[in-house]
Structure 1
Amino acid sequence: MQYKLIFLALLFLSISSCKEGDGNKVLYLGHTLPQSHPVHKGILEFQNALEAKSGGTLKVKIFPDAQLGSEREVLELLQIGSVAATKVSAATLSNFVPEYHVLGIPYLFRDKQHQFDVLEGEIGKSILEKGSKFWLRGLCYYDAGSRSFYTSNKAIRTPDDLEGLKIRVMNNQMAINMVNSMGGSATPLAYGELYTAIQQGVVDGAENNPPSFVSSNHYEISKYYTLDQHSSVPDVLLIGTKFWEKLSAEEKVWVQEAADESAQAQKKFWSDSVDESMRIAREAGVEVIIPEKSLFAEKSKSVVEEFVKEFPEMAPIVNKIKNN
């Protein structure tokens, strides 16, 4: 029944096209995150900037909290034109646009500065443009931090400590290969089921960034958080080409400028959220471990080698990023 209601609502949005009665264009934007999340705050910046630049003729209506479905479902809605825009993880997007697989490579970026030099430069913009042939035009990247391991009963100080542990990962081949290469047992599992799975011992832990570790309340049942920072997969703000093509040249400029400005604001929201999340975790008694990251990076080298072997056309992008 719930999905039927969602379908009917989306059908109405599709029929209503992109205009209100007063002629203003409305950009429907759906995403899966709660309104307290720093990425949602970045999207609010996009909304405010776009309405200001357009003098109110371009409006953004936001549907957070997975109101319009999962990340994959909303991407499909963009492709058919029922929804104008969304924010998704580059990991999810890689199932639609192959070049985004590259951004999930473990230890691809040397540090945060290197990451955003790449993403906001020629390489990152080129990847954003690759989605247009799949009706998914990238506008900008949002900071989604670095993913690290957390466990319920055993501390991870070196890769050897992962041996025999069931670690929940996204249903993404790169993430699965990475955990397995380090000695763990990668276990794809729906995010909504993870709290109970850790609590009941179905899995021994998971991997995610600090804001997600805290907002999901996983810090309540995970005693150890190891900041190995194995991957830094960004989020991507996207607009469907079916909506994009309805915009005038001037409106397209406004949309892109608003997106770029929101990305810069979102970095600060993210940084503040990381600091606050780590404070909450430590005060709750979580042991935060700073390991020797090179040990984990060494173990995951085989993942990169296998990826380049399977997708040789991606090798030039990987090399450009490493040499950037």
Structure 2
Amino acid sequence: MKSIKILSLFILILTFLGCEIQTEAKTLRLGHGLDVSHSVHKAMVKMGEDLLERSAGKLKLEIYPSQQLGTERECLELLQIGSLDMTKVSVGVLENFAPKMKVLGLPFLFRDRQHSFNVLDGPIGEMLLNEGEKYWLKGLGYYDAGSRSFYTMNKPIEKPDDLIGEKIRVMESATAVNMVKALGGSPTPISWGELYTSLQQGVVDGAENNPPSFYLSRHYEVCKYYSLDEHTVLPDVLLIGTYVYNKLNEQEQKWLNESVKESVKYQRILWAEAEDEALREVQKAGVEVIRPDKSLFVEKVKGIFEGYKDDKEIYPLIKQIQETK
């Protein structure tokens, strides 16, 4: 009788532990390189809150900002081997892992911001998100990163010829390198985390990025000229490793995708506010904001598009994007 009681107690404990294990929350670790005041980080925080609520505590998000877990490229590599669950990278970096993504880095590809949203939220954007799956990277959504423009230390960029002889920091992106070359500058790939020091030490004469990144990075302390040529509309992409995503059940995937979708909407609102604030603040700090004639820059980069005429994957994609309403 005593042994039966012990056995029953043992079975009860195992059952209890089994329930605990079964209901224990899954945690997704998300690493990125942005500051906590950035709209993308704030949108990720909202995503985590929504995910926790939707899943009734079964799925959690842990966020590691400010390159705590490495650069964008390093985080992508961690995703590929399953050592990190999620990350956010610029399309410019992702093109090294998902080649079709380079189409989004082409200068003056979009007519305006709404045109870019129509493309990214439609079938073309969806197709590109899935482009990285063969490299163990699944795209979940696009965060708005506005338009990228040049900022420099020593002189304003009012026309393409002003870039001649200027060393301009670019991402590790062949498309970005080709664009700066076409405009007359000398492209210099440097990681985002090292850029402030590189500007201070004169390793480069300037860089190119959107207004909130220019402001939040404090690069305006070194670069006093910001030329709004708005050459590229380059979104950020939220990704998850395919190994991790495929381990989630159908319900968990649904919770995650819904939370991502809501965070994208929220971030676009925050981004518009952040752009206005950034331009106001850098001008208060003594930065001269220049609005050059964009047509001069558009003319200079036409050769880049011509160079894709024989590319049977990218050139048709360019045409599809240009024809999207």
Instruction: Answer whether TM exceeds 0.5 for this pair.
Output: yes
CA distance in 1, matches of 2:198, 2:80: 34
Query: Which range moved further: 196-205 or 28-37?
Result: 196-205
Query: Which range moved further: 193-202 or 282-291?
Result: 193-202
1:151 counterpart = 2:152: yes
1:24 counterpart = 2:22: no
CA distance in 2, matches of 1:174, 1:20: 48
Cα drift, residue 68 of structure 1: 1.4
CA distance in 1, matches of 2:172, 2:242: 27
Share of identical aligned residues, percent? 54
Q: Which residue of 2 aligns with 1:302?
A: 303
CA contact (8 A) 1:138 1:237 kept: yes
CA contact (8 A) 2:92 2:172 kept: no
The superposition leaves residues 79-98 of structure 1 with CA deviations (integer Å, 9 ceiling, x where unpaired) of: 22222111111111111111
The aligned runs of 1:85-124 (5 Å cut-off) are 85-124=86-125
CA distance in 2, matches of 1:132, 1:205: 35
One-letter code of the match for 1:299? Answer: K
One-letter code of the match for 1:144? Answer: A
CA distance in 1, matches of 2:178, 2:302: 11
TM-score (norm 1): 0.90
Cα drift, residue 200 of structure 1: 3.4
One-letter code of the match for 1:105? Answer: L
CA contact (8 A) 2:110 2:116 kept: yes
One-letter code of the match for 1:165? Answer: E
Q: Which residue of 1 aligns with 2:6?
A: none
CA distance in 2, matches of 1:138, 1:23: 26
With over 3 angstroms needed to count, the CA separation of the structure-2 counterparts of 1:83 and 1:181, relative to structure 1, is same
The aligned runs of 1:62-81 (5 Å cut-off) are 62-81=63-82
| Equivalences, count | 305
1:174 counterpart = 2:175: yes
With over 3 angstroms needed to count, the CA separation of the structure-2 counterparts of 1:249 and 1:190, relative to structure 1, is closer
Q: Which residue of 1 aligns with 2:15?
A: none
CA distance in 2, matches of 1:164, 1:78: 38
The aligned runs of 1:163-242 (5 Å cut-off) are 163-242=164-243
- RMSD of aligned alpha carbons: 1.6
SS at 1:222 equivalent = coil
Q: Which residue of 2 aligns with 1:9?
A: none
SS at 2:69 equivalent = coil
Q: Which residue of 1 aligns with 2:319?
A: 319
The superposition leaves residues 142-161 of structure 1 with CA deviations (integer Å, 9 ceiling, x where unpaired) of: 01111101111211111121
One-letter code of the match for 1:266? Answer: Q
With over 3 angstroms needed to count, the CA separation of the structure-2 counterparts of 1:319 and 1:199, relative to structure 1, is same
TM-score (norm 2): 0.90
CA contact (8 A) 2:119 2:321 kept: yes
Cα drift, residue 203 of structure 1: 2.1
CA contact (8 A) 1:20 1:26 kept: no
Cα drift, residue 21 of structure 1: 8.2
Q: Which residue of 2 aligns with 1:137?
A: 138
CA contact (8 A) 2:35 2:216 kept: no
1:48 counterpart = 2:61: no
The superposition leaves residues 56-80 of structure 1 with CA deviations (integer Å, 9 ceiling, x where unpaired) of: 1111111111121111121122122
SS at 2:313 equivalent = helix
Gaps spanning 5+ residues in structure 2: where? 1-19
One-letter code of the match for 1:298? Answer: E
The superposition leaves residues 91-148 of structure 1 with CA deviations (integer Å, 9 ceiling, x where unpaired) of: 1111111111111000111110000100001110111112222211111000111110
With over 3 angstroms needed to count, the CA separation of the structure-2 counterparts of 1:171 and 1:273, relative to structure 1, is same
